[in-house]
């Protein structure tokens, strides 16, 4: 049996952050039932280009494998009643909406505890359900700016720069998944559910970690660094080589001693200005140009072979295509396949969460309302007339 086979989640989710959190739980066996609004065409992720046709997109596939879908308009009496019936037989109501919306549409614990006192209501919002920004929509790019990430990313003389990936969204989804599991554990132990108020803003602020504690307790002001250098350890950055870029890291003194031997400059290891962490940081303006010149003398593969043989932490700067075909990616089975009637065989990356030795099974993302019969007839026991009423979209 899969680790989360006894967990049922009602997911009022769309786009990236919310679905990214629940897809990991679905991969672990949780039954994730997506509630999609029939009046708006369902999850907006279905329509994200490129590689999009009709209500199918590869974007949607990457966030929604192993899930179920049912169309349900929560603003109607019949829709609300069906939703509440689902709450009775579920463990979690999970949403990613604006912070003021869960209370307005009645999907908080206070609104649902009379129906199921053990229900866990997890709201992943942009700014949380309290505070002056709670009613604002939150998007990854905006959060990277507000939380200080863009101010410390990129070249010193360049503009503020976002990460190449939507890391606030994805991290927020993972925090929501963790909150759900903690909430369900407590609800099953104590018999009482709760709200989980998770926000992208809180997630982004929390990930400031050590630059934050340095700033809060000293005069440290994080700044952008040349070639993506570590803010305090030298050398720990990208270096240009004759045919590309590599990353070299010396987070321990032993690695520095090994590095100077590999590059044929042992005198740098005994130089008083470079012998310690503090010395190299204080004299980085002198040391780094020396290293820049040395690394340009060989190719990436030549340097990586030498550095790895000496036990110096290093790696190539690869393209996405190179990363996906990397021998470690292959060895770890990080690319999996699902079959889709429109797109054929879809190759995509798997969840990194590994529990036990059994390999997860992967099923394509659901078509909109594909699981109506299972949800309404098999799970809730509705008759055909009631199912038909739920399928009828009321006039505007």
pLDDT for 173-214, tens place per residue?
A: 999 999 999 999 999 999 999 999 999 999 999 999 999 999
Number of structural domains (the chain) is 2
Cβ neighbours for 383, distance < 8 A, ≥ 6 positions apart: none
pLDDT for 97-145, tens place per residue?
A: 999 999 999 999 999 999 999 999 999 999 999 999 999 999 999 999 9
β-sheet bridge partners, residue 8: 31
Cβ neighbours for 342, distance < 8 A, ≥ 6 positions apart: 53, 54, 56
Does any domain span residue 185? yes
Spell out the alpha helix ranges (H) of 139-252.
140-146, 167-190, 200-206, 209-217
Residue 185 domain boundaries: 8-206+342-391
CATH number at residue 262: 3.30.1540.10
Does any domain span residue 211? no
- Integer Cα distance of 347 and 115 in angstroms: 41
pLDDT at position 360 is 85
Question: Is there a single domain that holds both residue 192 and residue 245?
Answer: no
Domain boundary residue, one of 282, 317, 352: 317
Does any domain span residue 221? no
The pLDDT > 70 percentage for the chain reads 99
Residues 223-229 have a mean pLDDT of: 95
Question: Is there a single domain that holds both residue 130 and residue 233?
Answer: no
pLDDT at position 393 is 67
Does any domain span residue 305? yes
Does any domain span residue 322? no
Catalytic residue (one of 24, 185, 226, 230): 230
Question: Is there a single domain that holds both residue 178 and residue 250?
Answer: no
pTM of the model: 0.94
**Phi and psi angles of residue 10, each rounded to the nearest 5 degrees, phi first:** -90, 120
Question: Is there a single domain that holds both residue 35 and residue 152?
Answer: yes
E strands of the chain, at which residues? 8-12, 31-36, 52-53, 56-57, 68-71, 92-95, 120-125, 194-199, 236-241, 244-249, 314-316, 335-340, 344-349
CATH number at residue 163: 3.40.50.10540
Question: Is there a single domain that holds both residue 147 and residue 197?
Answer: yes
Helix (H, G, I), strand (E, B) or coil at 333: coil
* Mean residue pLDDT across the chain: 96
- Integer Cα distance of 249 and 52 in angstroms: 41
The pLDDT > 90 percentage for the chain reads 96
Question: Is there a single domain that holds both residue 198 and residue 281?
Answer: no
Question: Is there a single domain that holds both residue 237 and residue 199?
Answer: no
pLDDT at position 396 is 59
Question: Is there a single domain that holds both residue 283 and residue 169?
Answer: no
- Using alpha carbons, list the distances in angstroms from residue 323 to 198, 245, 349: 31, 14, 11
Residues 6-33 have a mean pLDDT of: 97
pLDDT at position 147 is 97
What string of DSSP letters covers 194-206?
EEEEEEHHHHHHH
Question: Is there a single domain that holds both residue 293 and residue 198?
Answer: no
Question: Is there a single domain that holds both residue 34 and residue 157?
Answer: yes
226 as an active site residue: the answer is: no
pLDDT at position 392 is 73
Which single residue is written with the structure tokens 């997890």? 122
**333 with 27: CB under 8 angstroms?**
no
Does any domain span residue 396? no
Residues 211-235 have a mean pLDDT of: 94
Token pair, residue 11, equals 């997911």
Question: Is there a single domain that holds both residue 245 and residue 385?
Answer: no
- Quote the DSSP letter at residue 377: I
pLDDT for 60-80, tens place per residue?
A: 999 999 999 999 999 999 999
Select from 125, 216, 101 the least CA-distant residue to 176: 125
Question: Is there a single domain that holds both residue 62 and residue 120?
Answer: yes
Burial of 72 (0-12, 13-18, 19+ CB in 10 A): buried
Does any domain span residue 325? no
Q: Are strands 56-57 and 52-53 parallel, antiparallel or unpaired?
A: antiparallel
Does any domain span residue 324? no
């Amino acid at each position: 049996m899969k680790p989360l086979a006894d967990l049922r989640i009602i997911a009022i989710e769309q786009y990236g952050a919310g679905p990214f959190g629940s897809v990991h739980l679905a991969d672990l066996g949780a039954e994730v039932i997506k509630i999609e609004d029939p009046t708006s065409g369902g999850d907006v992720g279905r329509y994200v280009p490129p590689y999009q046709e009709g209500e199918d997109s590869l974007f949607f596939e990457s966030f929604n494998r192993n899930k179920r879908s049912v169309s349900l308009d929560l603003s109607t009496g019949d829709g609300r009643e069906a939703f509440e019936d689902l709450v009775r037989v579920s463990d979690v109501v999970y949403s990613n909406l604006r912070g003021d919306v869960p209370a307005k549409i009645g999907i908080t614990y206070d609104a649902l505890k009379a129906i199921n006192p053990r229900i866990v209501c997890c709201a992943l919002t942009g700014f949380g359900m309290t505070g002056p920004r709670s009613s604002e929509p939150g998007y990854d790019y905006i959060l990277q700016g507000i939380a200080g990430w863009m101010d410390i990313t990129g070249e010193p003389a360049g503009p503020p720069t976002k990460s190449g990936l939507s890391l606030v969204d994805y991290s927020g989804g993972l925090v929501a998944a963790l909150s759900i599991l903690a909430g369900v554990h407590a609800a099953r132990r104590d018999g009482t559910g709760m709200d989980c108020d998770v926000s992208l803003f809180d997630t982004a602020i929390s990930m400031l970690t050590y630059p934050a504690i340095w700033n809060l307790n000293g005069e440290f002001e994080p700044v952008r660094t040349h070639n993506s250098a570590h803010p305090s350890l030298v050398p720990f950055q990208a270096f240009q080589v004759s045919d590309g870029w590599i990353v070299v890291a010396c987070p321990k003194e032993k690695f520095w001693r090994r590095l100077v031997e590999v590059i044929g400059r042992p005198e740098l290891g005994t130089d008083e200005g470079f012998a310690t962490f503090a010395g190299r940081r204080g004299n980085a303006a002198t040391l780094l140009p020396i290293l820049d010149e040395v690394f340009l003398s060989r190719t990436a593969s030549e340097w990586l072979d030498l550095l790895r043989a000496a036990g110096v932490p290093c790696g190539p700067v690869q393209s996405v295509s190179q990363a996906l075909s990397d021998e470690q990616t292959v060895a770890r089975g990080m690319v999996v396949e699902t079959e889709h009637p429109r797109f054929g065989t879809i190759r995509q990356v798997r969840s990194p969460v590994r529990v036990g030795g059994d390999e997860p099974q992967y099923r394509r993302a659901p078509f909109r309302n594909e699981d109506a019969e299972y949800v309404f007839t098999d799970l809730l026991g509705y008759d055909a007339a009631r199912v038909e009423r739920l399928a009828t979209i009321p006039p505007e």
